[in-house]
């Protein structure tokens, strides 16, 4: 099986002005393609070549893990966006957010704080466990909560290439603005399917 980069469900300029077309072209176009290409080279002729990407992430280490996880992380990240999407969660997810964090605004602030305090490159994750409990975590480099048995429902990329062309060193501004393009209908569905 050859791993492939899926086509984005929106135009390259659809996320502007939050994420520019240039950033999408470099970030998803070039960075993600490099992870996919490396993944295919590293898995060719191995047992990993026929595994689903999530299984590769959970079983591999070293360079194979890094490329598999980064390939998956970027797809998960870019496919949660829709500039015309639902602007906040509803139903069970909103209830769980309020129960756990007090309010939707407090939940967003905790995610932004996690992103601004992560030293170096990495990801901020919102995950759920088998009981539907929510957690916010941050991971360096290619860390992925799938390896801990958790189910991601939302992720924010805080590698510099995710925001530097648009925000330079203003990571906090990027984190604050990204809410405008997250499609909470999709995040609601991810939560219901994982919880």
Query: Which pLDDT does position 165 carry in this prediction?
Result: 96
CA distance 63 to 10: 31
Query: Which pLDDT does position 128 carry in this prediction?
Result: 96
* Cβ-based neighbours of 144, under 8 Å, separated by 6 or more: 57, 69, 72, 73, 123, 152
Q: Is the pLDDT of residue 51 over 80?
A: yes
Q: Is the pLDDT of residue 163 over 80?
A: yes
Averaged pLDDT for residues 180-192: 95
CA distance 94 to 73: 24
Query: Which pLDDT does position 193 carry in this prediction?
Result: 86
Tell me the C-alpha to C-alpha distance, in Å, between residue 169 and each of 15, 40, 50, 126, 158: 20, 33, 40, 24, 11
CA distance 9 to 4: 15
The predicted-structure confidence for 59-101, as pLDDT tens digits, reads as follows: 999 999 999 999 999 999 999 999 899 999 999 999 999 999 9
CB 163 within 8 A of CB 174: yes
Closest CA to 165 of 7, 8, 28: 28
The model's pTM: 0.96
Query: Which pLDDT does position 118 carry in this prediction?
Result: 96
CA distance 124 to 114: 7
DSSP annotation of 181: G
List, in order of start, the domains of the chain with CATH numbers.
Answer: 21-78 (1.10.287.990), 91-194 (3.55.40.20)
Number of CB atoms found within 10 A of residue 72's CB: 22
């Amino acid at each position: 099986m050859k791993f492939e980069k899926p086509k984005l469900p929106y135009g390259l300029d659809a996320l502007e002005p939050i994420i520019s077309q240039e950033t999408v072209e470099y970030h998803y176009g070039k960075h993600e393609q490099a992870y996919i290409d490396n993944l295919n080279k590293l898995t060719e002729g191995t047992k990993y070549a026929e595994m689903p990407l999530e299984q590769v992430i959970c079983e591999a280490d070293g360079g194979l893990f890094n490329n598999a996880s980064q390939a998956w992380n970027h797809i998960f990240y870019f496919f949660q966006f829709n500039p015309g999407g639902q602007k906040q969660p509803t139903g069970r997810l909103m209830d769980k957010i309020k129960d756990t964090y007090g309010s939707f605004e407090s939940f967003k602030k905790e995610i932004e704080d996690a992103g601004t305090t992560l030293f170096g490159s990495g990801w901020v994750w919102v995950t759920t466990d088998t009981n539907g409990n929510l957690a916010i975590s941050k991971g360096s480099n290619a860390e992925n909560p799938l390896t801990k048995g958790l189910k991601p429902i939302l992720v924010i990329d805080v590698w510099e290439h995710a925001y530097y062309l648009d925000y330079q060193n203003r990571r906090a501004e990027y984190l604050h603005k990204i809410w405008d393009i997250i499609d909470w209908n999709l995040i609601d569905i991810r939560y219901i399917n994982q919880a």
